[in-house]
């Protein structure tokens, strides 16, 4: 049956500090990655229509564990800790990065990566690396240019086109604003397409 995933049904499943703590590696999983403070948790809440599903914060580095949300028993969304400038000791930062890296390399149920970038600062080296990695690993890769409410419609579209030109054709790019409710249908369509395959 070709039914659209019910993102609104998402519920918190578990948090994991490392691969061993992740839920059983079966079914399909989509991970949200991006720099600290890019708007990953906000985008997840917007997608699921739940304001408080994933914790958001003005303090970069709020999401420190891999947080798993179940849409159904075979479909999950994952909020990854932000990479970049979290104000935490380097040792801890390194450990997070290693855990994310380990997860990305070894997770069999991972089918897609949503790379969240602030529309005002897209495609930083880490973002580029994640996109390249996802493409090479054969995952679906979708870029969200978040906080698009910060730009007027013209610059918003220019930013989207500019990023689209920098990535392979099979990588999709959209603008999104969780606060101003822009881009929800597009996001649901892309992720729904991946989960239906
Ligand atoms: N104006 C505006 N602000 C947003 C939007 N999305 C998120 N923010 C704000 O950006 C900040 C960071 O959002 P989060 O969703 O917590 O970011 P994150 O990527 O999960 O951050 P970490 O968990 O630290 O990696 C918060 O203050 C949000 O309110 C948006 O669409 N528009
Ligand atoms: Mg977060």
Per residue in 2-35, pLDDT (tens digit) is: 578 999 999 999 999 888 999 999 999 999 999 9
Nearest atom (ligand 1) to Cα of 182? 31
Ligand 1 midpoint to CA 2 (Å): 33
Task: Tell me what pLDDT residue 181 has.
Answer: 97
Using the Cα atoms of residue 71, residue 77, residue 78 and residue 84 in order, give the sign of their dihedral: negative
Q: Two tokens at 15? A: 């948090």
Tell me which of 154 and 4 has the higher pLDDT. 154
Predicted TM-score (pTM) of the model is: 0.93
85 lines ligand 1 (CB under 6 A): no
42 lines ligand 1 (CB under 6 A): yes
In terms of average pLDDT, the best of 51-65, 119-133, 146-160 is 146-160
Task: Tell me what pLDDT residue 99 has.
Answer: 80
39 lines ligand 1 (CB under 6 A): yes
Q: How far is CA 60 from CA 39, 128, 148, in A?
A: 10, 20, 19
- Average pLDDT over all residues of the chain: 91
Q: So where are the chain's domains? A: 7-196
- Which residue has the CA at smallest separation from atom 21 of ligand 1? 37
CATH classification code of 7-196 = 3.40.50.300
> What SS3 class is residue 186?
helix
183 lines ligand 1 (CB under 6 A): no
Query: Is the per-residue pLDDT at 102 higher than 90?
Result: no
Task: Tell me what pLDDT residue 2 has.
Answer: 57
């Amino acid at each position: 049956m070709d039914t659209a995933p019910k993102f609104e049904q998402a519920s918190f499943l578990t948090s994991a500090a490392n691969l061993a703590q992740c839920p059983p590696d079966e079914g399909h999983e989509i991970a949200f990655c991006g720099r600290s403070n890019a708007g990953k948790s906000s985008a997840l809440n917007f997608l699921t229509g739940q304001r408080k599903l994933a914790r958001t914060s003005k303090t970069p580095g709020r999401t420190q564990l891999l947080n798993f949300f179940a849409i159904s028993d075979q479909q999950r969304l994952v909020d990854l800790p932000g990479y970049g400038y979290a104000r935490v000791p380097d040792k801890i930062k390194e450990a997070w990065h290693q855990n994310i890296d380990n997860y990305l390399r070894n997770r069999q149920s991972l089918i897609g990566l949503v790379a969240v970038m602030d529309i005002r600062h897209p495609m930083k080296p880490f973002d580029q690396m994640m996109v390249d990695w996802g493409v090479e690993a054969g995952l679906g890769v979708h870029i969200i240019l978040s906080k698009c409410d910060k730009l007027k419609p013209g610059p918003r579209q220019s930013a989207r086109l500019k990023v689209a030109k920098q990535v392979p054709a099979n990588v999709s790019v959209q603008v999104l604003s969780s606060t101003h409710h822009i881009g929800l249908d597009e996001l649901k369509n892309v992720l729904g397409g991946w989960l239906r395959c």
